A and B are shown apart, each in its own frame.
Chain A
């Protein structure tokens, strides 16, 4: 049981938009930054979003992050087949003094 809650799977057609939610509490998302990672099969995770809504250089603006209260959202527009992957959110939990991941969301581009 993950501390942060993500939907197990989402799907959408190529070119469409999808959002992935990440729900937590005041001890993690509510008071600490959220980052998002993409993991393609057989590879290490890759940073997509940090500090809730900032993109590292090289990440297309099709990927965006937002946060409201104790929930964060990753949005992906203009879906491509290459976006099929697992997506994870993580935040620091002040009460646990530990990092906490969401359970991961598998994106399928139909």
Chain B
């Protein structure tokens, strides 16, 4: 069955980096667009970035542009979110989601806490 599993979250100091992984199973990642969405504790959903199938048309929210980078390794069926220059307001659960007709499958998320 289709499954997305995020990993790589943790506690990190402001200004440091972290790389999140989104491992896909039950489908071929190379055929799908993958989005990253985050949710700060007690807050609403915030769209973060999209990983295009060809890697040429990735897009980012203004709040993370220039600091976050998406990439994918289709041989590992995995999408990555490289997060640099982390700020306290980047603290959130980070979900990856598959785009088919809407965002039809979501991972449970991984928690990133940015704190000194």
Contact = CB atoms under 8 A, between A and B. Distances in A.
Interface of A: 2, 35, 37, 39, 43-47, 49-51, 54, 56, 86, 88, 90, 96-104
Contact of A47 (B60, B95, B102): B102
A98 B61 contact: yes
B59 A56 contact: no
Listed from nearest, the 9 A-B pairs whose CB atoms lie closest are A50-B102, A99-B47, A35-B102, A104-B44, A44-B106, A50-B101, A47-B102, A101-B45, A97-B59
Interface string B2-27: 00000000000000000000000000
A51 B47 contact: no
| Main SS at interface, chain B | strand
Contact of B45 (A49, A50, A104): A104
Nearest to B105: A47
Contacts of A101: 37, 44-47
B103 A35 contact: yes
Q: How large is the interface on B (under 10, 10 to 19, 20 to 34, 35 or more residues)?
A: 20 to 34
A56 B47 contact: no
A45 B59 contact: no
Interface string B30-70: 00000101000000111100100000000111100000000
A35 B97 CA distance: 13
A37 B35 CA distance: 15
Contact of B101 (A46, A51, A90, A99): A51
